[in-house]
Structure 1
Amino acid sequence: MNTVTDRRALARQRTPLNRSQIAGFWGAWAGWTLDGMDSFIYALVLTPALTELLPRSGFAATPSNVGLAGSILFALFLVGWGLSFIWGPLADRFGRTKVLAATIFTFAIFTGLAATSTNVWQLGIYRFIAGVGIGGEWALAGTYVAEAWPEDRRKMGAGYLQTGYYAGFFLAATLNYTIGVHFGWRAMFLTGAVPVVVAILILLRVKEPEKWQKADAKTVRAKPLREIMGPAYRRRTWVACILLTIAIIGLWAGAVYEPSAVIQLATRAGMSKGDSMRTASLATGLLSIGTILGCLALPPMAERIGRKMTLAVYFAGMAVSIAASFGWAFYQPNGLAPFIAWLFVLGFFGGNFALFSLWLPEQFETRVRATAFAFCTSFGRFVGAGVNFLLGAAVLHMQTLGVPVALTALAFVLGLFVIPFAPETKGETLPQ
């Protein structure tokens, strides 16, 4: 009883958040939500959009061509994400909130423009530039919350922030269930222009974190990219790059093909086109709910058993759930129900991304933090782009979706051997 009382007293003693910290969090969370919505819109509308645009571009809209073109365009999108490392040095130099708003503005405008595409080349260009904006948003939102929130709240804040991305998945699924089914894929892309409002609100209402303001003079003279590659940070930079690469390969390989897999299974079960799309939306919603729960469960686990052990648990869960869903359930005679059930498990362990929002800021000082965060995430996206291209080629060659995606589970097995080389920061304060 005393333990419960002590915990309640500790909770009451947490540092209260001021108005700027609250507004800043909700601005970052909303940007992250709309970021996730934007990212997943493509996965949801991939089949109908390419079915329309491929013939206009001189290609037959066969299932194999749709799969290959979808992988190429997604790889191009990931390359745009990879180039988002440019935002990190800008944020270390000019401030977190201004550059965060610029990333949101970029991905919103070019997502909206995707609705005007008349061929696959235009769609590819718009998605590439949108990717540059989306990629910067995660790094800058995570950096902002880590620096702006008080020490006794920032760890849970990382988990709360990450839920926004998957709330965006849920929002995209809801929009597809309502707008997408009735008005088509172009209307879905138009909804992605909404984040412009969020960018303006961030500029007008949110102050820069005090940690960045205090380090500003040092940041001006620093060369952050060179510093994170120097002796002090080199090892942790490359280990973080590898771990993020694994997370990106596995999660995106599963998530981007999830709607197509559900549609195939629903069609195989005798559902109509409209019912198949609705089922894919519901499955995406379930995946999102699972991931949100995984994000919320992660920070307390990381505080109890440490960062490295927590990531190991989540990576192991990803390996099992990807293999079970795409490698087993997808090939069952009545595989739709077990596949969707495994998606919830996959979603939960997909919450591993919340750990990086918590852990990466703890590994780098303020003057280089945004650069390090952006570089590590961008590196993973470059490699992920290549893997996604190979994945599309494998789908085309094998004439099946399940096995190639299931093989990405091996990346998480590899990750279990890399985790021991990362630094354990449990119990440490955010470095100044």
Structure 2
Amino acid sequence: MPTTLDRQISATRATKTPLNRSQITGFWGAWAGWTLDGMDSFIYALVLAPALTELLPRSGYEATPANIGLAGSILFALFLVGWGLSFIWGPLADRFGRTKVLAATIFTFAIFTGLAATAHNVWELGIYRFCAGVGIGGEWALAGTYVAEAWPEDRRKMGAGYLQTGYYAGFFLAAALNYTIGAAFGWRAMFLVGLFPVVVSIMVLLRVKETDKWERAETAQPHVKHESSLKAIFNAQYRKRTIVAAVLLTVAIIGLWAGAVYEPSAVVQLATKAGMDKHDAARMASIATGLLSIGTIVGCLALPPMAEKIGRRKTLAVYFVGMAASIALAFGWAFYLPNGLVPFIALLVVLGFFGGNFALFSLWLPEQFETRVRATAFAFCTSVGRFFGAIVNFGIGAMVLNMKTLGVPIAITAVAFLIGLAVIPLAPETKGQELPN
């Protein structure tokens, strides 16, 4: 028979630490920023074809499918380079605090997304997307760092999963906007909607309290206050885990972004082959994106309990295997079927679920670094992946141009996840450990 003490301990474990008003407001500010970040990122994928169809002739190039594919890859690569340069936000956040710098990232990507609506040629669009990428790239690192530090220990793991759903809710929001505003008013209106995050950045700046962990670190370690946090993540203590985390994030970014960015174009091609007109094919791409987003949100929510049960490394391995299989089957098999639209979209839902692997990094990266370098490490590791992602996207664009097909080049990116599986054992297992101070 359980004793009174046993029952008290059981009840304590079953009751989560309540969140205070500041923690709730801060989470919703970070989540809204991450949602609008995802919306902004995927707007480009959805309006790629109509935007380049209009802008390429104005830039002196014929708007052929091959040129649209190549120009789209180059512009997305520039966007990823902007993402890569976003590592600058990490040291700023470790030096000046999480909330102010988080607001600055949101403000940056919102302004330059809105300016993309004014582009007269592909060069202007590329510059605006590059600058928006710098802002977007910093938001994830700072939002993830904020939630990890602000939420109590018994809630922060699920908080990482909840936070990551925002990015894919943004995909869903972008799809809904494309289905309505984009279909009615065109691609420029879609970019103008991207100005809305300015409101969120103001809210974050004015209403969200700085994390106690960062404030304590500032006062408790005056001797390291001015030490370079970027240099610190490559000292003997952190060098290995910094490199391994950067490699794993590179794998995740290459695989998911290759599939997600080209997904609307693939669906449009399959829908057209199935007999749909241009308007209906665009709407089908929006529906497919919404289903992909729902699958990813479910994957994000399923991940933290799995990571707590079987550990961080095994969970990432499961998700990487799922990503490799779904990308290879969707783009290497279903894309080439005579009636491949339905099986392709079904596989997109599976791909979306395993694309929830990004939630693990929101949970796992903060556990590997102490407070004074946490934002820098998070920003650096995500930025490295984006640089390599840019290089891979140049390669994909060249392959699409030379092979005259979209499916095989994307399917080949599944190999990246096999490389990731070999690297996972080198990462530290932090299951059951508290967030370091």
Quickly name the TM-score band, shorter chain normalised.
Answer: over 0.9
Which moved further from structure 2: 395-404 or 223-232?
223-232
Please, which of 353, 361, 367 is the counterpart of residue 366 of structure 2? 361
Describe how 1:178-217 pairs up with structure 2 within 5 A. 178-217=180-219
Please, which of 134, 137, 152 is the counterpart of residue 154 of structure 2? 152
Deviation at 1:96?
Answer: 0.1
Q: Which residue of 2 aligns with 1:28?
A: 30
Deviation at 1:192?
Answer: 0.5
- Aligned: 1:262 with 2:267: yes
Please, which of 271, 289, 300 is the counterpart of residue 294 of structure 2? 289
1:57-85 Cα distance to aligned partner (Å, 9 max, x none) = 00000000000000000000000000000
The aligned amino acid for 2:402 is: H
Deviation at 1:14?
Answer: 1.2
Q: Which residue of 1 aligns with 2:408?
A: 403
The aligned amino acid for 2:145 is: T
SS at match of 2:155: helix
- Does the CA-based 8 Å contact 1:163-1:296 persist in structure 2? yes
- Aligned: 1:163 with 2:165: yes
Q: Which residue of 2 aligns with 1:142?
A: 144
Q: Distance in 2 between matches of 1:161 and 1:101?
A: 16
1:189-243 Cα distance to aligned partner (Å, 9 max, x none) = 0000100000000111111000000011436222111110111000000000000
- Aligned: 1:271 with 2:273: no
Q: Distance in 1 between matches of 2:10 and 2:166?
A: 27
Deviation at 1:8?
Answer: 8.4
Q: Distance in 2 between matches of 1:7 and 1:235?
A: 39
Deviation at 1:10?
Answer: 4.8
The aligned amino acid for 2:274 is: A
1:291-347 Cα distance to aligned partner (Å, 9 max, x none) = 000000000000000000000000000000000000000000000000000000000
Q: Which residue of 2 aligns with 1:91?
A: 93
- Does the CA-based 8 Å contact 1:222-1:367 persist in structure 2? no
Shift of the 399–431 alpha-carbon distance from structure 1 to 2, 3 Å rule, reads same
- Aligned: 1:37 with 2:39: yes
Deviation at 1:397?
Answer: 0.5
TM-score (norm 1): 0.98
Shift of the 395–8 alpha-carbon distance from structure 1 to 2, 3 Å rule, reads farther
Gaps of 5+ in 1: none
1:358-413 Cα distance to aligned partner (Å, 9 max, x none) = 00000000000000000000000000000011000000000000000000000001
Q: Distance in 2 between matches of 1:195 and 1:40?
A: 15
The aligned amino acid for 2:48 is: L
- Does the CA-based 8 Å contact 1:155-1:358 persist in structure 2? yes
Shift of the 422–55 alpha-carbon distance from structure 1 to 2, 3 Å rule, reads same
Deviation at 1:9?
Answer: 3.4
Q: Which residue of 1 aligns with 2:130?
A: 128
Deviation at 1:143?
Answer: 0.1
TM-score (norm 2): 0.97
Q: Distance in 2 between matches of 1:307 and 1:193?
A: 37
Deviation at 1:185?
Answer: 0.2
Gaps of 5+ in 2: none
Q: Distance in 1 between matches of 2:24 and 2:9?
A: 24
Q: Which residue of 2 aligns with 1:416?
A: 421
The aligned amino acid for 2:178 is: N
Runs (4+) off by over 6 Å: 5-8
Q: Which residue of 1 aligns with 2:229?
A: 224
Q: Give the alignment's Cα RMSD to 1 decimal.
A: 1.2
Q: Distance in 2 between matches of 1:183 and 1:285?
A: 20
1:260-305 Cα distance to aligned partner (Å, 9 max, x none) = 0000000001101110000000000000000000000000000000
Deviation at 1:13?
Answer: 2.1
